[in-house]
Structures are given as C-alpha cells and as structure tokens.
Structure 1
C-alpha cells in the first residue's frame, strides 16, 4: 500500500477532475433539480432496497466458503458492506477493501486461510459473472447502434445473451483453469494477507472441489449484478426518468466494467460519472439524469458505507484491546 500511495493520490485527483467535468457538462442546476425530485423518502427507500444487494453479495461470499452454517450468512453480508465501504470511501484502492472485509470475518472467529481463500473464490465468481453481464451490455449497445432507437432487444443483444449463457456453462464445468486464475488473483490482490500462500492454495483447491458451492457463488453474484440494475431502474423512476430495463442492464454492465478497470482509483471517482455522461445517451438516457443517478448512488454508498466503517473500526479496536489484555 505504501508503494501505491502516490499513484493512487494522482489517480484520485484525476478522477475528481473528471467528476467535476461531468457535472459541469450537464449543468449543476438541472442536476440537483433531478436529484431533488427523488426526495428524502425516495432516497431512504433506495438505501433500504440496496441492503438487499448486500445480502445477495454476502450470500455469494458465504457460498464460496462451503461448510459454514446458514446462520452465518448475515455475517458475510456485514463483511461485504464493510468491504464495499472501504473501497468507496477510504483513500486506497480495492486491495485495502479486501483486507477490511477479511478482517471483518476473521475478527469474528472465522479461520484466516479459509476466509481469504473464500474471498478469492468470491472474486473469481464475481469476475466471471460480470463478464457474462458485460457481454450482454456490449451486445445490447451494438443492437441499439445497428437497429436504431427501438423498444426491443435486437439480434446482437440476443447473441450476447447466448454468449453469456456459454460463459456460465463454461464456468461451472471448467474448474481447473479457474483455480489457476484464483491463484493468480491471490498473489496479486492479497500480498499482505496474514497467511502463507501455500496454505491459501490448499484452501482454494479444497473449495474448488465443491463444484456446487462455486456454481452457487457464481449464480448469486450474477443475481447481484442484475439486482444492481433493478436499483438503478428504481432510482431513475424516482427522479422521473424511467427506462426499459434491458437498456439499464446494458448501461450498468458497462459502468461496472469501467469501475473494475479503474480499480486503482478509490470508488472509481470521476470514471463512473464520465462513463454515465458518455454512455447514457447511447441507451436513450439524458446525461443530466445519468449523472444524477451516479450522484444518488454515491450518496447511498456514503449513507450505508460510512456507518458500517465506523462500526467496523470500533469492533476492530475493541477486539485488539482485548487481545492485548
């Protein structure tokens, strides 16, 4: 993390500049008027609905750790909220968020090697499911550009659906290549995890032997990506800018891909806003509404992530104090 400090700082400054550019381009007055249409009650409903996404993603992480009782699923959802809060709000890249999420579980008594191995499996299934959704997004955008602004899913989008199904089938069947991918992820993204890599590899091998658990993690992460589009649809409806759901899935899938590519920038700040400005019009979304959606999601991240991080920090300090005694 020390080596990444200056690159992350420079990337963050660039991201902030991109965010200001995006908001200036659509106009601050109209932007805040669009957000105001949602109202506080609408925003609270949006935040409450977003907690369901945390539960889905927590379940995907729980499924990546076969053998854990069902009653521990809320604990994984809590760890996922802390992990995302660190990614979105703290001044370091997503690597730090992974460590925060891992500590949220290990501090509750879960074994370290198994916890971090399950996190790597969850990351792998998340990436594979994102690839499937992104393929649909690219194909849907291509369908719009080829077929024009019509209210149906064109042939190119259906090709994307077929490719997405093929990715899902390959993911469930081809476990050995994915184990190699998980090994690579572990080496690159968890270099400072408090466990030996040989032990982590043993745990990864054991988890990938449970094909049903890995497949369930994939399907839950896929459900998470789709539910995130449901949330975007909800936010757009609340600000008076409804849009066909398949178009929202297309837009959100590409925004998520941009965020993933910009993982070194905390919260992908600026990248998300610029992406909405540039991609929104392609699916028929006004740039003003697109940036409003981005800011609403940012506000949601703060409203949920900040209290979660404060609770996580308090629990971590208390447990550290007990260990010293």
Structure 2
C-alpha cells in the first residue's frame, strides 16, 4: 500500500481526476453547464449554509456518546466536526486524518483525555455502519426507479462501494477498534506522541470498550448518524430546486447515496475526483435529469466543499495554532 500513499501516486490520481472532470465539461458543453449554474445564481449560498445542518446532527450524536462527562459545549463539537470534514475533504488524509484531528482537539479540553479518542473511534465506526445503510437505502430506491438488467454495471458499482464500507466494519471487528485507530494514528501522525496525548493504547482500549457497553447511547448515536446521512440529501434537493429542476426526495436521496458510494469506491483518488461526477451523471440519466444539470450538481458540491472546507481549515489553524506551530517547531508533548 505504500505506493498508494506516495506523493507521486497522489499527483497522478489527482491529475487523472481533473482530466476526467475537464473531459466531462467539454463533452457536455461548458456553456450549457454554465447556463445551468447561472440559473442557481446566488442561491448556491443556501446550499453551502445547509451543510452545517447535518454537521450539527452528527456532532449531536458524537456528544451524546459522552454526555454526563465534563465535556465542552455543543458548539465546540460542531467546530471539531467542521475541522474533521475540512481535513478529510481538502487534505490528502484518505478521509480519516480529520478524525484524528478532532480527537486531538477534544482531548485537549477533557479531564480524561482517553475519552476523546474512544468517543471518536466509536462515532467513526457507527458512522461507517450507518453510511452503509444509507447507501443501501439509495440503492433500493434506485431499483424501484429503473429496471435491473440494463443497468447492472452501475448498480454493481454502487454495491461495491457499500461492500467496501461493510468490509471496513468487518476489519474493525477483526483487528479491534482501538487497534484500527492506532493504525490511523501511525499513518498520519507520530504514533508515540499521539498516544501520549490520548493517554496510552491500553487505556484507550478500555475506554472504548466502556462506551461500546452502553447500548442506549450507541443506539441514539447511530440513529442520529443515520439521520445525518439522510439530511445530507437536502443539499442535493436544494441544488436541484435552485437549478430549476423538479426535485423529489427520492431523487435527492439516490443522488446523494451515489455520491457517498463513489467517495468510498474511489477512495484512492483525492476527493474521488471524477469518480463522483461520473456516478452522479450516470444515475441522473436514469432518473431523467439532463446531463448538464447533473454535472452542475456535482460542481456545486465541489464548490461547497471549498466554501466550507477552507474556512474550516482556517478555524483549525486559529484554534490550534499553539499546537500546530509551537515555538520549538515540533509537535508538543504537553498537549
């Protein structure tokens, strides 16, 4: 896997993804896509602002896992989720580095630092499980809209994305929850130092097991996480509406599920660039949506990622500047 983690592979896949998006724009007509985007005009800002709604729902589920402890305010959890999403979206972090970042941010503000890492591990695995369910819901809705035979390749791609997530869950159960988090930490940060921050691996394992033993909290968190995935479809619904289409909840859920599945299926490509756009265009055609509208939706989502992600990274730099840029020029041990 080292070749997949190299800078050369990152640049190569990013270039291929950009080239494919450029091909789609040229093939479908830049002017047609531009005209579709002009219909939405400044209403795209509503799409950007709406992103914080599912983000707040996800933060509520995460906070509920450790409710009753001395934890920061709900707004702080939203900030940590914002930073995590920004890192996973805009940085070469394989969509997991942001979770390590939010664990560190929370750890610095908890009396029991290990609780931060344990809560992120549990929240992350519940997020993967509910993501799999959401993709399956989108797939089932798509099956009701189209016939299976002529679209077997597309449905296979969506199912592969879902199975990839399911495989991650199986791997987590095989290796152990904290072991997986430890592997993530080793990949993106210095493992020894991050374990010092989180209180040590043995304590992390014990705290994670304690959280998993509270089934009531797990169920509530899982329901909130699944609600977050469903509410994310509202972003697609708004985009369809402002683009002048006649949106339906079914179409919004299907298109959102396709985007999520594409991100999982194309995890080796930075931001699943090109993979997500191709999936959205293919499914939009099955739903009877014009290709330029589908591509406009994909571009709006890319624009939203930048509009939400760049301020999120800025907020991270501001709130964590003493950790990211210490006077010694290295990661502080006294986090």
TM-score bin, normalised by smaller chain: 0.7 to 0.9
**Which residue pairs with 2:115 in the alignment?**
114
User: Could you tell me whether the CA contact under 8 Å between 2:80 and 2:102 is conserved in 1?
Assistant: yes
Deviation of residue 80 (structure 1)? 0.8
**Which residue pairs with 1:182 in the alignment?**
177
**Which residue pairs with 1:134 in the alignment?**
135
Residues 43-63 of structure 1: per-residue CA shift (max 9 Å, x gap): 222222221121111112222
- Report the CA distance shift for 1:241/1:109 in structure 2 as closer, same or farther (over 3 A): same
- Report the CA distance shift for 1:315/1:187 in structure 2 as closer, same or farther (over 3 A): closer
Residues 55-101 of structure 1: per-residue CA shift (max 9 Å, x gap): 11111222233434686222111111111111111234223222222
Task: Provide TM-score, normalisation by structure 2.
Answer: 0.79
Partners of 1:147 and 1:94 lie apart in 2 by 31
The 5 A counterparts of 1:213-252 are 213-252=217-256
**Which residue pairs with 2:152 in the alignment?**
none
Match of 1:21 among 2, 20, 23: 23
1:253 is paired with a residue whose SS is helix
The 5 A counterparts of 1:146-185 are 146=147, 182-183=177-178, 185=180
- Report the CA distance shift for 1:199/1:19 in structure 2 as closer, same or farther (over 3 A): farther
- Report the CA distance shift for 1:68/1:21 in structure 2 as closer, same or farther (over 3 A): farther
Deviation of residue 22 (structure 1)? 2.5
What is the number of equivalent residue pairs in this alignment? 296
The CA RMSD over aligned residues, in Å, is 2.8
User: Could you tell me whether the CA contact under 8 Å between 2:14 and 2:273 is conserved in 1?
Assistant: yes
2:252 is paired with a residue whose SS is helix
**Which residue pairs with 2:282 in the alignment?**
278
Partners of 2:64 and 2:24 lie apart in 1 by 39
Partners of 2:117 and 2:234 lie apart in 1 by 30
Partners of 1:125 and 1:324 lie apart in 2 by 30
- Report the CA distance shift for 1:187/1:28 in structure 2 as closer, same or farther (over 3 A): same
Are positions 1:200 and 2:195 aligned together? no
Partners of 1:26 and 1:245 lie apart in 2 by 26
Unaligned ranges ≥5, structure 2: 150-171
Task: Provide TM-score, normalisation by structure 1.
Answer: 0.81
Partners of 1:316 and 1:147 lie apart in 2 by 50
**Which residue pairs with 1:172 in the alignment?**
none
Partners of 2:96 and 2:11 lie apart in 1 by 15
User: Could you tell me whether the CA contact under 8 Å between 1:232 and 1:248 is conserved in 2?
Assistant: yes
Residues 213-269 of structure 1: per-residue CA shift (max 9 Å, x gap): 111111111111111111210111011012221122122112201112323333222
- Report the CA distance shift for 1:44/1:70 in structure 2 as closer, same or farther (over 3 A): farther
Match of 1:294 among 283, 289, 298: 298
**Which residue pairs with 1:91 in the alignment?**
92
**Which residue pairs with 2:52 in the alignment?**
51
- Report the CA distance shift for 1:15/1:76 in structure 2 as closer, same or farther (over 3 A): same
Deviation of residue 34 (structure 1)? 1.0
1:263 is paired with a residue whose SS is coil
Partners of 1:91 and 1:126 lie apart in 2 by 20
